[in-house]
């Protein structure tokens, strides 16, 4: 009987192909929109997470002042080499600690020049930030100690200053110093915040302090926490130690901050998630509108087929059999819409993912949920018209013109 009802529903839908397709359109668009939103959202989240992981999730950053961004560290004292050494010495869970100082500068090679960020640090900087070399080498111990004019450059700097030439052994002019390129870093691409991570020049800290900055300041201490150790705990330890070293009065706020990359990762993916949920909710409204469209057409259909319903009732169809017939028709209509929507969504998300350069992440559960939801829309919005059909008086229905 159910099989018969199903065949009947399919035939009825085929009989009015154009009308059926137009009726389904709302569901198709709704389902497609929800799936595309969630798929792209997942892709974006995956991308952000991957980028942050490339930075090292066990990374802690100690910066001056309270806040990141404009005005940070304006009146907070800088860190010193002794601070770096103290962190290295006293925080057992820190596997590598790198102090660094940075400055924006114009790098010149021949006729080309390029504004970039020059950072002074040591080899631990590369370890902490998960940098790997594409070519050349890192600093030697004598180079770091003596403050030689050598540097390691990122892929963007190489491209802008050297094009396709081999940069190793060439000299870059940074203010008054001519720096020899000894290493080329492997490209990391755009960061989660949208900045180009490959746009950097790194030189030994001593070289930077003596010949570029002219002071002994360190603006940033980065450390990686050993696998298995709680970053929360390490953070608390560092905060306590730094307050002491920087003589912060117990009543005052910290004049530095310790930031956890996990925190930043959660914050960034959280934003994406909220956005995805919001857009999906908007898309879901279209499903609702699609449901109302189905209800409308089913009501029209019941009116059009009043005589047919009368015939069926007269020859002995039960109320629930007529109800089922129309309900199944509505559900088949909406489920077909759901299936078409899923197909459309797959095509659209693959296309959009490559267009927006976001990885395509197939989300099985959301596809299943969208399909079940579309079927449920058929049940909910098909019920009222179906009940109206089932409750018709056979005598009246047979008289209907």
Partner 1 sequence: MADATSDRSGPLIELRRVTKVYGRGDAAVHALAGVDLRIEQGEFVAVMGPSGSGKSTAMNILGCLDTPSSGSYRFRGVAVETLGRDQRALLRRRDLGFVFQGFNLLNRTSALENVELPLIYRRTPRAERHALAQRALALVGLNGREGHTPGELSGGQQQRVAIARAIVTDPHLLLADEPTGNLDSVRSHEIMTLLGGLNRDRGITILMVTHEPEMAAYAHRVVHFLDGRVVDESAPEQRS
Find all residues with CB under 8 Å of 324, minimum gap 6, and list them. Answer: 2, 5, 386
DSSP structure class, residue 22 = H
One character per residue 117-156, x = contact with partner 1 (rule: CB under 8 A): ----------------------------------------
User: Of residues 210-249, which lie at the interface with partner 1 (CB under 8 A)?
Assistant: none
Torsion of CA 244, 247, 252, 254, to 10 degrees: -60
One character per residue 321-340, x = contact with partner 1 (rule: CB under 8 A): x-------------------
43 or 310, CB closer to partner 1?
A: 310
Residue 40: closest CA among 375, 395, 372, 360: 360
Q: Is 343 in the site for partner 1 (CB under 8 A)?
A: no
One character per residue 288-307, x = contact with partner 1 (rule: CB under 8 A): -------------------x
Q: Is 2 in the site for partner 1 (CB under 8 A)?
A: no
Q: Is 314 in the site for partner 1 (CB under 8 A)?
A: yes
317 or 379, CB closer to partner 1?
A: 317
Q: Is 316 in the site for partner 1 (CB under 8 A)?
A: yes
Find all residues with CB under 8 Å of 287, minimum gap 6, and list them. Answer: 26, 27, 30, 31, 34, 373, 374, 377
Torsion of CA 234, 238, 241, 243, to 10 degrees: -140
Instruction: Give the integer Cα–Cα distance in Å for 82 and 90.
Output: 12
Give how many residues touch partner 1 by CB under 8 A: 20
- Strand, helix or coil for residue 113: strand
Contact 154, 199 (CB under 8 A): yes
CB of 23 to partner 1, least distance (A): 19
Q: Is 387 in the site for partner 1 (CB under 8 A)?
A: no
Name which position in 178, 274, 300, 318 contacts partner 1 (CB under 8 A). Answer: 318
C-alpha dist (Å) from residue 35 to 197, 256, 348, 392:
32, 44, 10, 39
Q: Is 317 in the site for partner 1 (CB under 8 A)?
A: yes
Contact footprint for partner 1 (CB under 8 A):
1, 4, 15, 307-308, 310-321, 394-395, 398
């Amino acid at each position: 009987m159910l099989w018969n009802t199903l065949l009947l529903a399919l035939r009825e839908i085929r009989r009015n192909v154009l009308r059926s397709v137009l009726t389904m359109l709302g569901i198709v668009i709704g389902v497609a929109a929800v799936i595309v939103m969630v798929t792209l959202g997942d892709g974006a989240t995956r991308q952000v997470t991957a980028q942050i992981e490339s930075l090292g999730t066990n990374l802690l950053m100690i910066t001056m002042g309270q806040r990141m961004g404009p005005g940070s560290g304006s009146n907070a004292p800088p860190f010193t080499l002794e601070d770096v050494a103290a962190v290295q010495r006293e925080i057992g869970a820190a596997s590598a600690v790198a102090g660094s100082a940075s400055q924006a500068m114009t790098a010149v090679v021949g006729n080309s020049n390029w504004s970039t960020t020059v950072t002074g640090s040591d080899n631990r900087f590369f370890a902490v930030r998960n940098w790997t070399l594409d070519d050349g080498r890192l600093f030697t111990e004598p180079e770091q100690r003596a403050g030689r004019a050598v540097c390691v450059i990122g892929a963007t700097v190489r491209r802008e200053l050297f094009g396709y030439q081999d940069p190793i052994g060439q000299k870059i002019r940074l203010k008054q110093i001519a720096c020899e390129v000894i290493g080329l870093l492997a490209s990391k691409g755009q960061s989660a915040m949208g900045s180009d991570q490959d746009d950097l020049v790194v030189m030994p800290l001593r070289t930077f302090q003596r010949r570029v900055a002219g002071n002994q300041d360190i603006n940033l201490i980065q450390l990686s926490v050993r696998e298995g150790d709680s970053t929360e705990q390490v953070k608390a330890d560092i905060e306590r130690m730094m307050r002491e070293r920087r003589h912060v009065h117990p009543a005052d706020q910290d004049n530095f901050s310790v930031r956890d990359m996990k925190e930043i990762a959660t914050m960034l993916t959280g934003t994406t998630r909220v956005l995805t949920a919001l857009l999906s909710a908007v898309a879901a409204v279209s499903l609702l509108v699609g449901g109302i469209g189905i209800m409308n057409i089913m009501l029209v259909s019941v009116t059009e087929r009043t005589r047919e319903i009368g015939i069926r009732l007269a020859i002995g169809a039960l109320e629930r059999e007529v109800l089922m017939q129309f309900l199944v028709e509505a559900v088949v209509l909406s489920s077909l819409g759901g299936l078409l929507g899923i197909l459309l969504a797959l095509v659209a998300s693959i296309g959009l993912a490559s267009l927006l350069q976001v990885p395509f992440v197939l989300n099985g559960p959301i596809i299943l949920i969208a399909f079940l939801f579309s079927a449920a829309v058929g049940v909910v919005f098909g019920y009222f018209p179906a009940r109206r059909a089932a409750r018709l008086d056979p005598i009246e229905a047979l008289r209907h013109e």
